[in-house]
Chain A
Amino acid sequence: MSELAVSRRRLLTAGALGAGALALPAWARGADLHGEMIRPGFDEVSGRDIALTIGEGARIVQGRRGHAVAVNGSVPGPLVRLREGQPVRLAVTNTLREDSSIHWHGLLLPFQFDGVPGVSFPGIGPGETFVYDIPALRQSGTYWWHSHSGLQEQAGHYGPIVVEPASGDPVQEDRDYVLLLSEFTPLHPHTIMGKLKKGEEYFSYNKTTWTDGYGLSGEQRRMWARMRMMPTDIADVTGSTYTYLANGRGPDEGLEYLFNIGERVRLRIINGSAMTFFNVRIPGTKFWVVAADGQNVRPVEVEEFQIGTAETYDIVVEPTGEAHAIVAESMDRSGMALAMLASRPGAQANVPALRDPPLLTMADMGMDHGGGGMAGMDHSAMDHGIPSRTRAAEPMDNMAMGGMNMRDTSTLPPDVAVGPGVDMVSMNPVDRMGDPGIGLDKVPHKVLTYRDLVALVPNDDLRPPSRQMEIHLTGNMERYMWSFDGKKFSSVSDDPIRFAYNERVRVKLVNDTMMAHPIHLHGHFFELVNGAPADRQPQKHTVVVQPGGSATFDLTADEEGDWAFHCHLLYHMHMGMFQIVTVAPRGNRTDAKREETD
């Protein structure tokens, strides 16, 4: 890797080179009866016609062996490199014994090529080849692709997409790398699903105990027990089974990004995990966030950000030391993915230990507590005296706890179905876009929040929304049920969320659970209503709704057809937190009306 010439605008698929297939021990190569060993890291594919093959095989990560579903023989699968303004045909061949699919996450395209079996197309049967015939791309940036069939994504069926801009990229760098974060588990995804369904917080080993160090008072512990909930319910699946991966490599497997001092390094960070939020930082180094979900934003200087499942952030860093660790710690702090920025091959920086696991707080219960409007505040500026999330000594107001009703269903809109699948109703769901994410409000450095994101170029639809709709994120932790508006997809599969063509709607997502949910709308970008001016609201395809809080976006529904809309935590989606958004046909409307109407 080190001998590669430094070239601006050249994308190095780090990881594909360092320890490729040849570095595997002989017994792990070719001798396996169940198929080829799956390689870590990825190759690159590009051009007018691209061929991808879905297969399976065995995979070993840091000595643990598991079954993998892999595309072109590697996990992650190949980097699909496209170009704005160019069409592409992707021929995907399925060699599995079951149906498969590829969804192009974040790409604007005709709905029939979006890749969701049962919504956009029938899926790709065993032995079949399906051609995604995508017209000239209307965007550039960092995206990814993954299976939308069963639980294949957990098993390794995912990879990065980079769409080169048609003309100059406003982000200029000397080195351009992809960092795709994901998980490896030796367990079959259906085994994980069964344990989530039948066990109680099966994968958590950070629970409160008689001997824990959380510093909760007895009163606080009793309050949580009375609610039948756990303050440690941060991640459903944890490092107790997952090895967190950077470009398919575990933290001990030495993913390295080379740089020369003085160079500007761009990292395209993709959260391709099934169930994990990551806290990403380069200890001791500030960096600029320059794009979110593939869309350029005004550069924001931060030292850390939390990335929800399925989000992408591009960052630019100018490393000054011999080596810097890129640490992607799981939100529950049960493990980390790791990569090294190295000025020479093998250069190592200190890797910090995992920080102490966080606890959920009053705000995560949907209690408007303290300043009330803290969610709208910039926490890094207003920190002092507004306790919102702390590991231990949060001043829980016990008087307030006494009379509270954690499930006051009378506050819900009438279209929310109240039943066994709803174990909590947020008492006062404030907008939490100013929240840096669970466990990060007390760190002594600047952490990105959605309020920091401002679109780099003006948005093209400046009409005010003609209506607002509210969608509640609902669940039951004990039964492991997840849904929108209290209704699992299995009960509303013929009752989609409907929009008129080119309708502009403000959608408010209200989180009536104590988990953060990354909500993804296929085929569109929506604009976060985050306090930025109307023409600079950042465009995203996935928005994290913090526990007990709300998040609001403006949507121009101008991509006709049926689109999946779901929580991107894989097992939440499969429990029913999924819906179809139908955008009415364009019909004979001549053109999108984008000018202001008032």
Chain B
Amino acid sequence: MRVFVAALLASTATPAIAQDHSGHAVSAAPPPAQSECEMEAARHRAMGHPVPEGSCVPEASTSDEKPADAGTDHGGVDHSHMDHGAVGTRPIADGPAPAAAGAGPPRAADAIWGADAMRASREALRIENGGMSYFWFQGDRAEYRAREAGDGYLWDVQGYYGDDIDKFWFKSEGEGAFGEKPESAELQGLWSHAIGPWWDLQAGIRQDLVGPGRTHAVIGVQGLAPYLFEVDAAAFLSTKGDLTARVEAELDERVTQRLILQPRAEVNLSARDVPELGVGAGVDTVELGLRLRYEIAREFAPYIGVEQEWKLGRSADYARLAGDDPSVTNYVIGLRFWF
């Protein structure tokens, strides 16, 4: 008890450096001897200048060092030079480790336990601290689509296996009407490589599973654009020489912590007419959707929504020729999930 009290007294009796400048401590025990320097420092602090506590206490330990006087050292301090202004009384040169620090990998434990004994745990440590791979599967859209010309279905799933930089990425999309053959179905296998904090470059193969069954080379980018748009843009070159492209963007607007409104847009483009696919040159199709999902869990979210599809230009003509409406409105109910 006595020692503790002594410690408290010591605290009270110490110069400003040890003082707590907050309200109660100051009122309880004003600094016993406020030097001119300290008053000057206080004045600067009041003006919002960064004068570190302790600026007025000469560093007894360093005899050749000039006293760290607040008036000269910090009084006119340039705020951009916070390096020494905030934390120290003088700059210390940046430098590499001296030769005496040695070189090479850290192997001190080998001398104690033996290199063989250390090998397995050392490798495990490396993998466990940043070297792991992950598997992800997402059903972004798995939905029932109610529409005038017969109800249908759609799936849009993707996933990956890989580490932070390189992944194997797969995607599959397809849709159709119940009781008929699928209108479209495709599978993509991509190598995905992180090219920036928010973007992956993806390249690989796309196989169409219905219709003429074409194979395409794929190159694209997927990631997060400013304002938090999830973007997936890819170009496809088929074995028949057809060059097409697809750009998708989604945005999550949180209404509450679990209720999320998701606008979505998709544009398909083609470099030329591909009559057997019903694709016209230029803008082939445009889709605009709005889905409202409720995240029962983050990874399990039923939704309802509406999506409008337009076929444009020559694509619209092909659709009319085939007896289809180039403009279709889908009322959708579905599930978004991932694991």
Q: Does residue B237 face the partner (Cβ distance < 8 Å to A)? A: no
User: Which candidate, A31-39, A340-348, A578-586, is the interface stretch facing chain B?
Assistant: A578-586
* A535:B126 contact, CB within 8 angstroms: no
Q: A534–B263 Cα gap in the complex (Å)?
A: 59
Q: A422–B35 Cα gap in the complex (Å)?
A: 47
| The residue from B22, B104, B256 contacting A209, defined by CB atoms under 8 A apart | B256
Beta-carbon nearest neighbor of B64 in chain A: A598
* Chain A neighbourhood of B95, CB < 8 A: 466-469
| The residue from B77, B126, B254 contacting A493, defined by CB atoms under 8 A apart | B126
Q: Does residue B120 face the partner (Cβ distance < 8 Å to A)? A: yes
* B131:A373 contact, CB within 8 angstroms: no
* Chain A neighbourhood of B113, CB < 8 A: 112, 121-122
Q: Chain A at the B interface: mostly helix, strand, loop or mixed?
A: loop
* A578:B108 contact, CB within 8 angstroms: no
* B59:A582 contact, CB within 8 angstroms: no
B 237-268 to A, binary, CB cutoff 8 A, 1 in contact else 0: 00000000000000001111110000000000
* A195:B298 contact, CB within 8 angstroms: yes
A 524-537 to B, binary, CB cutoff 8 A, 1 in contact else 0: 00000111111110
* B195:A420 contact, CB within 8 angstroms: yes
* A117 touching B228 in the complex, CB below 8 Å, given contacts A286-B24, A373-B82, A534-B61: no
* A168 touching B101 in the complex, CB below 8 Å, given contacts A111-B108, A420-B197, A488-B129: no
Q: Does residue B175 face the partner (Cβ distance < 8 Å to A)? A: no
| The residue from B2, B50, B55 contacting A172, defined by CB atoms under 8 A apart | B2
* B121:A301 contact, CB within 8 angstroms: no
* A489 touching B126 in the complex, CB below 8 Å, given contacts A209-B257, A298-B10: yes
Number of interface residues of B (CB under 8 A): 103
Beta-carbon nearest neighbor of B98 in chain A: A500
Q: A407–B199 Cα gap in the complex (Å)?
A: 15
* B134:A446 contact, CB within 8 angstroms: no
* B130:A420 contact, CB within 8 angstroms: no
| The residue from A116, A173, A489, A494 contacting B130, defined by CB atoms under 8 A apart | A489
Q: Does residue B25 face the partner (Cβ distance < 8 Å to A)? A: yes
Beta-carbon nearest neighbor of A382 in chain B: B45
* A373:B85 contact, CB within 8 angstroms: yes
* A464:B97 contact, CB within 8 angstroms: no
* B121:A117 contact, CB within 8 angstroms: yes
* A468:B121 contact, CB within 8 angstroms: no
* Chain B neighbourhood of A576, CB < 8 A: 129-131
* Chain A neighbourhood of B1, CB < 8 A: 172, 264
* B121:A562 contact, CB within 8 angstroms: no
| The residue from A376, A420, A446 contacting B164, defined by CB atoms under 8 A apart | A420
With both chains docked as a complex, state the minimum distance between the C-beta of A302 and any C-beta of chain B, in angstroms: 8
Q: Does residue B32 face the partner (Cβ distance < 8 Å to A)? A: no
A 286-301 to B, binary, CB cutoff 8 A, 1 in contact else 0: 1010100000001111
* Chain B neighbourhood of A550, CB < 8 A: 87
B 106-145 to A, binary, CB cutoff 8 A, 1 in contact else 0: 1111001100011011111111111110101000000000
Residues of chain B having any CB pair with chain A under 8 Å: 1-4, 6-8, 10-11, 14, 17-18, 20-26, 45-46, 48-55, 57, 59-65, 77, 79-80, 82-83, 85-88, 91-98, 100-109, 112-113, 117-118, 120-132, 134, 136, 164-165, 194-198, 224, 226-228, 253-258, 298-299, 338
Which 10 interchain pairs have the tightest Cβ spacing? Answer: A373-B50, A576-B130, A118-B125, A488-B130, A490-B131, A371-B48, A372-B79, A431-B86, A380-B22, A500-B100
Please list 7 pairs of residues, one from A and one from B, whose beta carbons are closer than 8 Å in the complex, sorted by A's number. A117-B124, A121-B121, A211-B256, A376-B51, A489-B129, A490-B130, A562-B109
Residues of chain A having any CB pair with chain B under 8 Å: 99, 111-112, 116-123, 150, 168-173, 194-195, 197-199, 202, 205-211, 222, 225-228, 264, 286, 288, 290, 298-301, 316, 368, 370-378, 380-382, 385-386, 407, 419-423, 428, 430-431, 433, 446, 451-452, 454, 456, 462, 464-470, 476, 478-479, 481, 483, 488-491, 493-496, 498-501, 503, 506, 508, 529-536, 550, 552, 560-562, 566, 573-576, 578, 580, 582, 584-585, 596, 598
